[in-house]
């Protein structure tokens, strides 16, 4: 059943409030700087100076990544004399979604918008995203030109409604120096993770001086682990959760057992991403589950041998992806010009490729992967290539128009288990019932 965006606005507002206390942003951690300059939700007139077509582009990147975005837009404008792109920072991913909902209702939205990939389906279901298949074909492109592991949230009802842009994935970050000191290798399985993390623990006079590993408070990481146990977040019929066969219980029991010994430090919800990063760089933990988006800053700040690795497997390797896609809005009055900006971003070396090289996000086309610039970067910084190699195990298990509300309930379940020591089975059973109630609405 098709839904209007207004039906999701209240739940998005509630979710934004909840996630404001979280480390990484909605709904998966993205580690974007939390800058919040004022941003307009009203699109200016469609024509720019000198008769140029103006393309309004809303995005969610602040800090350094915002600077890289601005630089990319500037390069586009310098190379096009009949189109001018105006980029506007709209706040975090969930803030952008809320503003876009309001703007669509008021028919004052942008031409192109960045959308956190898990929210694309909600907009696609409301028929407000343009099918880009005809544009892609006319430009001599196809979906096969893009990195397969990043295309899971691009096509709905046979319509290509978004393309990957600033995408990331969680990986294992390791203090290799610390592991070498205890004579253990980087863990590849849950059992090895348990062994290594417990071996890293230092406890003196009843106080933990060092923990084994950590992860930010976020749904991203439990979803990864449930998938590694061969569970799915939603079932195939999209009527309930998909980990009824014990994968959820197994995941959280594993985490709680390690938490009890100090092998796992589970941080406070508030600012958890920065807390975990600081503990890693200061040697208070030896490993962490964290986004690929922090590789650059860690490389610049650590004083030890730092390596990255695939998330350890249980039954299989599996990892969700995060970050955002770019979409062409159906109400755009300048669709041809807007598509030209998207096409250029996807294909021109001065577009997305340079943005990826600058920012450290994942290369989203096969030509980017094969480019000499990317090969040179990976040779110089092999930690970055790990994230791309892990995409062969990428999964998209949270595809549902009810994701925003269900994710809110999953956060509550994580809080109950990890902070309040509530019974795992009972908590997940409550979460299952709430998920089914939300989906039936």
- Cα separation, 32 vs 29, in Å, equals 8
Looking at residue 18, what is its pLDDT?
Answer: 37
DSSP track, 232-301: EEE-TTSSSEE-TTTHHHHHHHHHHHHHHHTSEE---STTHHHHHHHHHHTTSEEEEEEEGGGHHHHHHH
Residues in contact with 334: Cβ distance below 8 Å, sequence separation at least 6, in sequence order? 46, 53, 54, 55, 111
- Cα separation, 404 vs 441, in Å, equals 14
Looking at residue 178, what is its pLDDT?
Answer: 98
Pick from 187, 174, 166: which is nearest to 114 by CA?
A: 166
Decide if domain 6-168+322-370 falls under CATH 3.90.1150.10. Answer: no
Contact 323, 355 (CB under 8 A): no
- What are 116's two structure tokens? 């956190």
Pick from 285, 12, 248, 2: which is nearest to 126 by CA?
A: 2
- What are 62's two structure tokens? 């602040």
Looking at residue 25, what is its pLDDT?
Answer: 34
CB neighbours (10 Å) of residue 392?
Answer: 11
Task: Judge whether 6-168+322-370 and 170-320+398-440 match in fold.
Answer: yes
- Cα separation, 250 vs 140, in Å, equals 47
- Above pLDDT 70, what percent of the chain? 89
Q: Which backbone phi and psi does 105 adopt, to 5 degrees?
A: -60, -35
Contact 202, 356 (CB under 8 A): no
For the chain, what are the domain ranges? 6-168+322-370, 170-320+398-440
CB crowding 406-439: b at 16 or more within 10 Å, else e? bbbbbbebbebbbeeeeebeebbebbbebbeebb
Looking at residue 87, what is its pLDDT?
Answer: 98
Angle at 162 between CA 168 and CA 408, to 5 degrees: 60
Instruction: Give the CA-trace dihedral at 3, 95, 219, 176, to 10 degrees.
Output: 140
Looking at residue 244, what is its pLDDT?
Answer: 78
Looking at residue 3, what is its pLDDT?
Answer: 56
Length of the chain measured in residues: 441
170-320+398-440 homologous superfamily? Periplasmic binding protein-like II (3.40.190.10)
Distance from the Cα of residue 432 to its chain's centroid: 24
Looking at residue 108, what is its pLDDT?
Answer: 95
Looking at residue 48, what is its pLDDT?
Answer: 55
Please, which residues bridge with residue 395 across strands? Answer: 320
- Cα separation, 436 vs 409, in Å, equals 11
- Cα separation, 389 vs 403, in Å, equals 27
- Cα separation, 295 vs 165, in Å, equals 18
Handedness of CA 185, 186, 187, 188 (dihedral sign): negative
Which three-class secondary structure state does DSSP give residue 353? helix
Which residues in the chain come in under a pLDDT of 50?
Answer: 1, 7, 9-46
Q: How many helices (H) and strands (E) does the chain have?
A: 18, 17
Contact 186, 286 (CB under 8 A): no
Contact 138, 132 (CB under 8 A): no
């Amino acid at each position: 059943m098709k839904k209007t965006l207004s039906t999701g606005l209240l739940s998005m507002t509630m979710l934004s409030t909840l996630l404001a206390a979280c480390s990484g942003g909605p709904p998966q951690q993205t580690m974007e700087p939390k800058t919040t300059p004022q941003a307009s939700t009203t699109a200016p007139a469609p024509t720019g100076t000198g008769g140029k077509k103006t393309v309004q582009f809303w995005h969610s990147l602040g800090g350094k990544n915002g600077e890289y975005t601005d630089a990319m837009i500037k390069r586009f404008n310098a190379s096009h004399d009949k189109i001018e792109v105006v980029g506007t920072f709209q706040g975090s991913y969930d803030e952008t979604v809320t503003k876009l909902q309001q703007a669509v209702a008021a028919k004052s939205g942008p031409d192109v918008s960045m959308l956190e990939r898990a929210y694309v389906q909600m907009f696609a279901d409301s028929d407000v995203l343009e099918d880009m298949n005809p544009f892609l074909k006319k430009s001599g492109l196809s979906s096969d030109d893009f990195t397969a592991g990043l295309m899971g949230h691009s096509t709905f009802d046979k319509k290509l409604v978004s393309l990957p842009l600033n995408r990331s994935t969680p990986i294992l970050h390791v203090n290799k120096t610390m592991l070498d000191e205890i004579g253990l290798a980087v863990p590849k399985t849950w059992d090895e993770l348990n062994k290594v993390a417990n071996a890293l623990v230092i406890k003196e006079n009843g106080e933990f001086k060092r923990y084994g590993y950590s992860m930010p408070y976020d749904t991203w990481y439990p979803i990864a682990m449930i998938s590694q146990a061969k569970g799915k977040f939603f079932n195939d019929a999209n009527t309930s959760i998909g980990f009824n066969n014990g994968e959820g219980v197994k995941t959280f029991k594993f985490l709680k057992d390690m938490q009890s010994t100090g092998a796992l430090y589970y941080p406070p919800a508030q600012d958890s991403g920065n807390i975990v990063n600081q503990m890693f760089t200061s040697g208070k933990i030896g490993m962490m589950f964290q986004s690929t988006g922090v590789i650059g800053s860690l490389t610049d700040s650590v004083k030890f041998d730092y390596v990255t690795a695939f998330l350890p497997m249980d039954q299989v390797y599996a990892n969700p992806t995060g970050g955002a896609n770019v979409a062409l809005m159906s109400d755009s009055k300048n669709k041809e010009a807007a598509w030209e900006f998207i096409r250029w971003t996807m294909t021109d070396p001065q577009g997305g490729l340079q943005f990826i090289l600058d920012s450290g996000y994942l290369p989203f086309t096969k030509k980017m992967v094969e480019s000499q610039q990317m090969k040179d970067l990976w040779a110089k910084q092999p930690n970055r290539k790990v994230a791309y190699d892990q995409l062969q195990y990428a999964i998209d298990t949270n595809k549902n128009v009810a994701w925003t509300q269900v994710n809110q309930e999953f956060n509550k379940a994580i809080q109950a288990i990890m902070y309040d020591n509530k019974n795992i089975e009972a908590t997940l059973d409550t979460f299952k019932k709430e998920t089914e109630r939300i989906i039936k609405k």
